[in-house]
Amino acid sequence: MLSPQQQQYISQASDYIRQHNHICILTGAGISAESGIPTFRDKQTGLWENYRAEDLANIGAFERNPSLVWSWYQWRRHLVKDKKPNPAHQALARWQKQLSGMTLITQNVDDLHEQAGSTVTHLHGHLWKNRCSRCDLPYDLPVDYENSALLHCQHCSGYIRPDIVWFGEILPQQEWRDAQMAVTRCEVFIAIGTSSIVYPAAGLAELAKYNPQRAKIIEINPNPTDNPMVDIQIQAKAGDALPVLVEQLLELE
């Protein structure tokens, strides 16, 4: 499973983490890949194979064709609804429960971190929540994920949309402030399963690197990014590397 070199980088990371108290972790779509949830970089299948995800997860696309974008999200919800946390989500939940000082931030819109038992800040919203595209009020009525007909707001009759941050939209202010505050205080920043190119979340590694503690940056990704901020690169799947890393942290407590 893990090569001696991967294990060596994991030990190097755990030695370093052990000596520090404030750890920030940022996860991306890659952490849910082993649960069977496709990343945006995976090719789409079936009905949607001729569309690029970036062209659908997009405020302009919803304004032009709300029905198309809503049906795509209904289809994604259908894909995601039975998915379960994998060993990577479980290892992070264990870390958070058994050791103090770890803040978990995610760009994912699934709820697999919560299902595993973690407390997590969502920078990009929630796949399972909806709101009005016109008046912004939450839409709390049950939604049938097998039906792709557009829904209307009870207050203003605007179209209902998923409560997700699309390309071209700003991040939720409270969550973004919380994330920035944690990253400013951290001594170690770990980016897991994220290509580190979608701003502003990608800027968090930079904020950590130049914060007053000059945090060390660790990356866990089977396809290493060329993020120049990274100090320790663990080139492995999150589901292989994290259980080993967390086991080492707990053993050494």
**What are the residue numbers of the active site?**
124
* Site membership for ligand NAD, residue 87 (CB under 6 A): no
Q: What are φ and ψ of residue 125, in 5° steps? A: 85, -165
- Smaller CB distance to ligand NAD: residue 226 or 253? 226
Q: How far apart are CB 115 and ligand NAD at their closest, in Å?
A: 12
- Smaller CB distance to ligand NAD: residue 114 or 247? 114
- Smaller CB distance to ligand NAD: residue 171 or 250? 171
* Residues within window 22-81 making contact with ligand NAD, judged by CB under 6 A: 28-34, 37, 39-41
Distance CA 87, CA 34 (A): 9
Distance CA 56, CA 243 (A): 34
What residue type is 145 in one-letter code?
Y
* Site membership for ligand NAD, residue 195 (CB under 6 A): yes
Q: Which does 237 bind (CB under 5 to 8 A by kind): ligand NAD, Zn ion, none?
A: ligand NAD
In the list 66, 117, 158, 243, the residue contacting Zn ion (rule: CB under 5 A) is 158
Who's near 149: CB < 8 A, 6+ residues apart? none
* Site membership for Zn ion, residue 230 (CB under 5 A): no
| Number of CB atoms found within 10 A of residue 150's CB | 12
| Number of CB atoms found within 10 A of residue 196's CB | 22
12 and 241 Cβ atoms separated by less than 8 Å? no
Interface residues toward Zn ion, by CB under 5 A? 132, 134-135, 153, 155-156, 158
